[in-house]
A and B are shown apart, each in its own frame.
Chain A
Amino acid sequence: MTSPGVLVIYILLIVLGTAALSRGHGSFQQGLIRGAEQLIKLLPRMLCALVAAGFLAMLVPTEVISGFLGAEAGFMAIVIGTLAGMIIPAGPAISFSIAAVLASEGASTPALVSFTTSWGIFALHRVFIFEIPLLGISFTRLRMLSVLVIPLLAGGLTLVATSVLSKW
């Protein structure tokens, strides 16, 4: 299902490992140690996050949430869709399953756009696994503040677009 993506990782690993070896200056050892350190720090949290996400996916009261995401809720549905998307610390398999269930239970298109957009940019597991180890917490802080309005704007634009189109 995601095999091309998986392949990219291993190719990158081989390419970068070879580059580090040929560069010298202890880059290869530094990289290995750094990788091992990050891995050891990450694993306990990742295990908890994965297990919690599994329970969360079962517990998310999609009927209750979709009640707030209907077309009649207007902009409020966009806000709630945004908040719901922020709190899902799991990969696309879980978040898109939830989105599909919400859609079948009558969530409006603008609310669903906010939900999937919000999950796309805030997904917490990605922040812990990749962003903080690679770029640092100050980058994460800058990014979070920069993208805060995006899910609201995406939902709002969809709301405007769908209501204009439905008038025609």
Chain B
Amino acid sequence: MPSTAKSNDVCPGSRDWWAGLLRESFGVSFLLFAAFAIVMGLTCYILLGPERFDGAVSGSLELLGNTLPRVVAAQFVAGFVWAMLPRDRFSQLADANFSLRGLVIATAAGIITPGGPTSAFSLLAIAAGAGADRGILITYITSWALLAVQRIIVWDLPFMGAEFSATRFLVCLPLPILAGMIARWLPLSLVLVDAPQQPGEGK
């Protein structure tokens, strides 16, 4: 669950700050994940034996070692983006510029975005802060997830082969635009995650 802007009312580094953070770190969703991991681990141990269990654990730890630096960097990238974006414009302009052309451009942008989720989601947040409408945001991130050329070269091609990759690319090509149109049509409210307090701008 997203937090409320704790940093605005509790001094960072104070006891209350830590207490609030740790309460969230080890909250309900943590317990669910932990329970899931324990059940999976026990099942693995019982069904596949201690050797495969050990293999899974050391594989996960290795993956964690590889991923952790990226995740740490990603969170600070997200933090800086969050601190600098004029969030209030997001909801104001969220229903503006309903053109099909925007969705086509967003699809193309998703296809050529290099890098993993950090760069894609940072660009998404920047687009949101700049006032792109919800259709463009959904189309962009869907296009990146399905069609990004760099991901296809690194993952689809070696694992699934050229014919499969080409088929999936062509079949998925129009779908991000459809997702954007559905997003514009859905009657859901869209609020950005807790905006940093700008002086003189009340809620």
**Chain A partners chain B:** yes
| Residues of chain B with a CB closer than 8 A to A41's CB | 3, 21, 24-25
Interface residue SS majority, chain A: helix
| Residues of chain B with a CB closer than 8 A to A48's CB | 30, 33-34, 36-37
Closest Cβ of chain A to B134, distance in Å, is: 6
Provided the pairs A5-B150, A132-B193 are in contact, do residues A154 and B80 lie with their beta carbons within 8 angstroms?
no
Let me know if B136 is at the binding interface, CB within 8 A: no
Contact of B40 among A13, A55, A130 (CB under 8 A): A55
Assembled-state Cα–Cα distance A103/B158 (Å): 13
Provided the pairs A37-B7, A55-B44, A150-B178 are in contact, do residues A130 and B117 lie with their beta carbons within 8 angstroms?
yes
Let me know if B130 is at the binding interface, CB within 8 A: no
Please tell me if the beta carbons of A13 and B77 are within 8 angstroms of each other in the complex.
Answer: yes
Residues 31-64 of B at the A interface (beta carbon under 8 Å) = 33-34, 36-37, 40-41, 43-44, 47-48, 52-53, 55-57, 59-60, 63-64
Closest Cβ of chain B to A17, distance in Å, is: 6
| Residues of chain B with a CB closer than 8 A to A150's CB | 142, 146, 172, 175, 178-179
Residues 124-145 of B at the A interface (beta carbon under 8 Å) = 124-125, 128, 134, 137-138, 141-142, 145
Please tell me if the beta carbons of B73 and A9 are within 8 angstroms of each other in the complex.
Answer: yes
Please tell me if the beta carbons of A129 and B74 are within 8 angstroms of each other in the complex.
Answer: yes
| Residues of chain B with a CB closer than 8 A to A92's CB | 151, 154-155
Please tell me if the beta carbons of A51 and B115 are within 8 angstroms of each other in the complex.
Answer: no
Let me know if B97 is at the binding interface, CB within 8 A: no
Please tell me if the beta carbons of B121 and A134 are within 8 angstroms of each other in the complex.
Answer: yes
Please tell me if the beta carbons of A20 and B80 are within 8 angstroms of each other in the complex.
Answer: yes
Chain B residues within 8 Å of chain A by Cβ, number: 93
Give per-residue flags for A71-100: 1 if the beta carbon is below 8 A from chain B beta carbons, else 0. Answer: 000000000000000000001110011011
Assembled-state Cα–Cα distance A13/B69 (Å): 12
Let me know if A67 is at the binding interface, CB within 8 A: no
Assembled-state Cα–Cα distance A103/B159 (Å): 10
Closest 9 CB pairs of A and B: A35-B79, A136-B193, A54-B60, A8-B115, A35-B76, A34-B79, A55-B40, A31-B80, A48-B33
Mark B residues whose CB is within 8 Å of A. Answer: 1-3, 6-7, 12, 21-22, 24-26, 29-30, 33-34, 36-37, 40-41, 43-44, 47-48, 52-53, 55-57, 59-60, 63-64, 67, 70-84, 114-119, 121-122, 124-125, 128, 134, 137-138, 141-142, 145-146, 150-151, 154-156, 159-160, 164, 167-168, 171-172, 175, 178-180, 182-183, 186, 188-194, 196
A6-B70, A120-B146 known; 13 new pairs, CB 8 Å cut-off, are: A19-B80, A27-B83, A34-B78, A39-B76, A40-B21, A54-B63, A58-B52, A96-B160, A112-B160, A133-B78, A136-B2, A137-B2, A154-B171
